[in-house]
Amino acid sequence: MATEHPPFELAKGINGLEKIVLRESRGRSAEVYLYGGHVTSWKNENGEELLYLSSKAIFKPPKPIRGGIPLCFPQFSNFGSLESHGFARNRLWEIDASPPPLPLNSSSTAFVDLLLRPSEDDLKTWPYNFEFRLRVALGTEGELTLTSRIRNTNSDGKPFTFTFAYHTYFSVSDISEVRVEGLETLDYLDNLKNRERFTEQGDAITFESEIDKIYLSTPTKIAILDHEKKRTFVVRKDGLADAVVWNPWDKRSKTIADLGDEDYKHMLCVEAAAIERQITLKPGEEWKGRLELSAVPSSYSSGQLDPKKVLQ
């Protein structure tokens, strides 16, 4: 009997770069570029795009793609000596035809497994052998799941240490109408203040100026409420203690060549990450970090972070 691997399409994307298209029977879809192992699109049953992708995004190596879900590995931002956000986001990944077993969420309708190994050049700047396996899956309720499995394959006994983030750009109707729940009262490092540590006060997070904060030891669920769209994104994460919230606002946007001047109004990065406590793997060890995104109508009431209720 033929194996029932859910189908995916391999297609040519922008500038001829190869992409994988995942489709679900009710019309939902997701797209992943082999360049960067980068999810660039996630659409609901009405064909509405749920991720922000810059109209000025440069789909040309070695420039990372602006928008979607860049993968930051083996370094988040400049927490180390590598290029900012590491190199996984601007390397060419391959389709992993025979990944080690990974239980599939029963509701997954389509998925693809990708693999990144270091090149000779990568080993010159980061001298560690690894296998980074990424599964991108689309569920029957339209949820998008990314599972990263990173294994130390060094044969010389060397451990390695890394930081990581799913640098997700959500599409929002109007940033001033958006609130984020689940991060109240937590400690954060403020990137705009030399990474000084503060404690978040008050209610949900709202936006009226540039923000670039690394929230520490966050809960496994975070909600992004878009009042104008009457939509709530629910972020569920495992193995990823931290969460970064970033919006460049007007001034900083103008310094980012591949971001439109006004685009900050329609995007918000909420990034499931492992930053403060770096991950160390000895040879043969594997780390797993999972991100699940769902978009639900906002019958969601403030403070109600029970995902079962959100989905009802």
Determine, following the binding rule CB under 6 A, whether residue 149 of this chain makes contact with ligand TA6: no
> Which lies closer to ligand TA6 via its Cβ, residue 183 or residue 281?
183
The answer to whether residue 167 is catalytic is yes
Least CB distance to ligand TA6 at residue 54 (A): 10
Determine, following the binding rule CB under 6 A, whether residue 167 of this chain makes contact with ligand TA6: yes
> Which lies closer to ligand TA6 via its Cβ, residue 156 or residue 262?
262
Determine, following the binding rule CB under 6 A, whether residue 271 of this chain makes contact with ligand TA6: yes
**Cβ proximity of 226 and 177 under 8 Å:** yes
Determine, following the binding rule CB under 6 A, whether residue 247 of this chain makes contact with ligand TA6: no
Determine, following the binding rule CB under 6 A, whether residue 173 of this chain makes contact with ligand TA6: no
> Which lies closer to ligand TA6 via its Cβ, residue 37 or residue 64?
64
What count of other Cβ atoms lies within 10 Å of the Cβ of residue 262? 9
In three-state secondary structure terms, 276 is: strand
Determine, following the binding rule CB under 6 A, whether residue 170 of this chain makes contact with ligand TA6: no
> Which lies closer to ligand TA6 via its Cβ, residue 50 or residue 211?
211
Question: By C-alpha distance, which of 245, 244, 238, 243 is closest to 220?
Answer: 238
Least CB distance to ligand TA6 at residue 196 (A): 15
> Which lies closer to ligand TA6 via its Cβ, residue 132 or residue 246?
246
Least CB distance to ligand TA6 at residue 152 (A): 25
Token pair in block for residue 300: 């969601």
Least CB distance to ligand TA6 at residue 258 (A): 8
CA distances from 168 to 27, 64, 66, 139, 283 (A): 22, 13, 10, 18, 30
Residue 65: partners with Cβ closer than 8 Å, 6 or more residues away: 33, 35, 36, 38, 40, 53, 57, 58, 59, 89
Determine, following the binding rule CB under 6 A, whether residue 242 of this chain makes contact with ligand TA6: no
Report 108-147 residues binding ligand TA6 (CB under 6 A).
none
> Which lies closer to ligand TA6 via its Cβ, residue 211 or residue 281?
211
Amino acid 5 reads: H
Determine, following the binding rule CB under 6 A, whether residue 212 of this chain makes contact with ligand TA6: yes
Using CB under 6 A, pick the residue from 28, 38, 85, 237 that binds ligand TA6.
85
Burial of 117: CB neighbours in 10 Å, binned 0-12, 13-18, 19+: middle
The answer to whether residue 276 is catalytic is no
Determine, following the binding rule CB under 6 A, whether residue 278 of this chain makes contact with ligand TA6: no
Nearest 5°: the CA angle 283, 89, 41 is 125
Least CB distance to ligand TA6 at residue 231 (A): 23
C-alpha 19: how far from its chain's center?
A: 17
| CA–CA separation, 257 and 7 (whole Å) | 37
Residue 312: partners with Cβ closer than 8 Å, 6 or more residues away: none
Catalytic residues: 167, 271
- Give the footprint of ligand TA6 on this chain (CB under 6 A): 64, 77, 84-85, 167, 191, 212, 244, 246, 269, 271
